[in-house]
Structure 1
Amino acid sequence: MRLSHIPLRLTTGAFILNSGLGKRGLDGESAAGMQGMAARVFPPVSKMEPEAFGKMLSYAEMGLGAALLAPFVPSRFAGLCLGVFSGSLLTMYRKTPGMTMEDGIRPTQQGVPLAKDVWMLGIAAALILDRKRVPVRGAKTAPAVK
């Protein structure tokens, strides 16, 4: 993990971990509402019991948050997981009626809480695309400091 990844992973990981911890005791009605939105993206989740879906969502968020916070998890892998998660949230946003304006992109007031998750997709892209510089063959390098 690079030093520049720490703020990205720390803030995002803590946010997602906290969200997952908050969903541990999700009541059936709240879980059913989230399940209905998720079923627009992943239809098989509609066959689950709402309480089981709530627990699965909680565990998934806690796992992702912990992976982002753990320094031994490679940044590219953590970024890939975050990209799948945030991409799913943004797909849910686009497929839920009333979340977007007529253009299908800009959020309505109701859609802002989901549309704001676009920041996680940007962080995922930064973690995936950031690479160590590879020295160019034959390029002059600075002398080592003794």
Structure 2
Amino acid sequence: MSLSTTLLRGISGAYFLQSGIGKLKMPTEAATGLQQFAATGVPQVTKLDPDTFGKVVSYSEIGVGASLLAPVVSNRLAGLALGAINAGFLSIYFRNDQMTRKDGIRPSEAGTGLSKDLFIAAIAAALIAAPKASKK
């Protein structure tokens, strides 16, 4: 694995792993708030009860983080996992008018926190497009 790929996977993997672990014991009230926010981009999440939603988010982030940190997982597969979870985050960003300026792309003050997901999309694309490691 190249140094650049290791950095892309290590930093983003640690970020997602820490984020998912931090949500493991999320109180129902916090899960409800997160679910309502997520529903602005992915309305189907309202079909879950808040505690189940919180667990799904937590386990998903832990799984993505672990796949990025595990060297036995290919770059392409890790990038696809990262891209899949990131698609949900980006849908929240782009479907919520409060997150972007009038142009619908640049982040508003409220959207600055979610705009990091544009960088995560680039990381996912780089991992998917990365050449396969040569066997020596």
TM-score (norm 2): 0.90
Residue 14 (structure 1) aligned with residue 9 (structure 2)? no
Give the whole-Å Cα distance in 1 for the aligned partners of 2:89 and 2:96. Answer: 11
Give the whole-Å Cα distance in 1 for the aligned partners of 2:97 and 2:132. Answer: 42
Give the whole-Å Cα distance in 2 for the aligned partners of 1:4 and 1:110. Answer: 31
Moved over 6 A (4+): none
Unaligned stretches of 5+ residues in structure 1: 135-146
Call closer, same or farther: CA 1:52–1:130 in 2, change over 3 Å: same
**For the Cα contact (< 8 Å) 1:67–1:78, is it kept in 2?**
yes
State the aligned residue count.
134
Give the whole-Å Cα distance in 1 for the aligned partners of 2:34 and 2:131. Answer: 36
**For the Cα contact (< 8 Å) 2:97–2:104, is it kept in 1?**
no
CA offsets 1:56-93 (integer angstroms, 9 cap, x no match): 10011001100100000111010011111222211111
Aligned-CA RMSD value: 1.7
**For the Cα contact (< 8 Å) 1:40–1:96, is it kept in 2?**
yes
Call closer, same or farther: CA 1:31–1:133 in 2, change over 3 Å: closer
**For the Cα contact (< 8 Å) 1:93–1:111, is it kept in 2?**
yes
Look up the match of 1:81.
Answer: 81
Unaligned stretches of 5+ residues in structure 2: none
The residue type equivalent to 2:70 in the other structure is A
Larger radius of gyration: 1
**For the Cα contact (< 8 Å) 2:13–2:66, is it kept in 1?**
yes
Look up the match of 2:119.
Answer: 119
TM-score (norm 1): 0.84
Question: Higher mean Cα deviation, 34-43 or 105-114?
Answer: 34-43
The residue type equivalent to 2:87 in the other structure is G
Q: How far apart are 1:132 and its partner, in Å?
A: 4.3
